[in-house]
Amino acid sequence: MTSAPVARIESPHVTDSSASEKVNWLAEIRGLGLMLLAVLAFHSLVAKPFYIPSTSMMPSLWVGDRLVVSKYPYGWSWASASFHILPRANWRVLPSTPEYGDVVIPVHPDQDVDYIKRVVALPGDTIEVRGGQIILNGEAIKREVVPSVRLPFEPELMCGSYGGEQPCLQAFEAYRKMGSDGALYFDPPTWRETLPNGATYLTIDYRDQDLDNYGPVTVPDDSVFVMGDNRDLSADSRALPIADGLGGPVPMANIGGRAEFITFSLDGSTTWNPATWFTSLRGDRAWTTLRPALAEASNTSANTSAR
């Protein structure tokens, strides 16, 4: 009697996967580089986030607002590129002109620093400022006193200055009040301006200062004249570059985009405690559009109230 053959079972050869599979670092670096280039391209050609660090555009924009800035409305130039990686030049691709009242991102003429201001004069306009009143092409724009805006008292909100950090709203201290609910707020003098196309917006103007008188100057071709909505604390086209201003009309090649809307806003009380990431949110400011409202065109030109 013969015994049945016994099948020989060989155990599979077990290998250490960590030893046999090597990471292709070149491919990983290339993938990361492509991802960074895609982000840079999106920020330079389509849109990018923007942070408001000062009070120069109050009451429209508050310190702590986070915005979306679109890059394509006026074409592309050296100023469109994120981090200002391109050399300064006068070229523009697919150029177009802003409208009165647009909130734009001009770059300082001598420093690679982005500002945010409102367009108040277009190419060919002659602009003058007298006693805080804008005069376009010899005619005063409509400017009227309105009830004061209420700006919340936010002591944690700090802004940088030459002397270090200080409370952002310190300049409005003379206008601090307490509401019936015990909450503190500021109510600085507020005006409503309306430009020739009907674009209307609020401004703050509470004191006499040198920048209340300017010009007249004629805006060159392919340039715009811009001002901050907080007329007393804005380094804009009225101010010299040595005083951090924009030194007159801004070439369109130096405009990096248009502000579109607020995504979210923080009141300065944010800390490393995750709970404050929610309590510091100003919920009523999220998704606020930054395109100016339009008034009736027939009622945009005459008119001012006395200062």
What's the CA dihedral at 281, 191, 103, 96 to 10 degrees? 160
Q: How confident is the model at residue 304 (pLDDT cuts 50, 70, 90)?
A: very low
Question: What confidence score (pLDDT) does residue 297 get?
Answer: 53
Q: Residue 196 is encoded by which pair of tokens?
A: 């020739």
pLDDT tens profile 269-294: 988 999 898 999 998 999 999 999 99
55 vs 230: CA distance, rounded Å:
7
CA 283 to centroid of chain Cα atoms: 19
Model confidence, pTM = 0.87
Domains defined along the chain, listed by start: 48-299 (2.10.109.10)
Q: Residue 119 is encoded by which pair of tokens?
A: 């367009």
CA separation, residue 267 to residues 55, 154, 264, 270 (Å): 13, 7, 10, 7
Residue 7, pLDDT > 80, answer: no
Mean pLDDT, rounded, for 251-266:
97
Task: Spell out a b/e string for 61-89, using b for 16 or more CB atoms within 10 Å of the CB, else e.
Answer: bbbbbebbbebebbbbbbbbbbebeeeee
pLDDT tens profile 122-175: 999 999 999 999 999 999 999 999 999 999 999 888 887 656 678 899 999 999
Q: Residue 198 is encoded by which pair of tokens?
A: 């009907």
The answer to whether 94 and 87 have CB atoms below 8 angstroms apart is no
